[in-house]
Structure 1
Amino acid sequence: MKSPVVKRSIVIAGHKTSVSLEDAFWDALKEIAASRRLTLSDLVATIDSSRTQGNLSSAIRLFVLDHYRENAASARSHGHSERSGAGAPVA
């Protein structure tokens, strides 16, 4: 049985390293980098430099999670909802 976690190599700050991520996290990371007009390596270097503990793969997963949580919170605060009738008073 193939593991959903794939080990990938990336160069950050001039040195080659590897991260083990599921395809969904890797794809999301690439989307975030593109939306910020950054290279994948630059985004991962930023994540790497700001982490306080844990391994890089975990830091990337948490970064992606936080990114989408912030987007969801922003959408809610601007009146967008994932379900109809949200925000309506309960009788």
Structure 2
Amino acid sequence: MGSLKKRSVNLAGHATSLALEPEFWAALERVARQDAVSIAALIQRIDVGRGERPLASACRVYALQRAGG
């Protein structure tokens, strides 16, 4: 996997920086297209359901889960 790519997203009215490998960004973008939502909306959805898991980890796990089924 490549080096981390950082993006800013707005979660609950707060700017948040999120660093993921480009492959995970691509996977999340595919999911967002499939679900007809923006990448920001998808990350908000992940954020709400992540519990105590760090956001970057939750995004990676979500991308893997969606890729597998």
Do the two structures share a fold, i.e. TM-score over 0.5? yes
> What is the number of residues matched between the two proteins?
68
Q: Looking at secondary structure, tell me which structure has more helix per residue.
A: 2
State the TM-score, normalizing by the size of structure 2.
0.89
For residues 12 and 38 of structure 2, the distance between their equivalents in structure 1, rounded to whole angstroms, comes to 12
Q: What is the CA RMSD across the aligned residues, in angstroms?
A: 1.2
- Larger radius of gyration, structure 1 or 2? 1
Matched letter for residue 63 of structure 2: V
Displacement of 1:13: 2.3
Give the percent of matched residue pairs that are identical in Structure 1 and Structure 2.
Answer: 35
Q: TM-score scaled to structure 1, two decimals?
A: 0.69
For structure 1, the 5+ residue unaligned runs are 71-91
User: Larger relative CO (CA 8 A, sep 6+): 1 or 2?
Assistant: 2
Letter in 2 for 1:19: L
| 2:16 corresponds to 1:9 | no
- Runs of 4+ that moved beyond 3 A: none
Q: Which residue of 1 aligns with 2:66?
A: 67
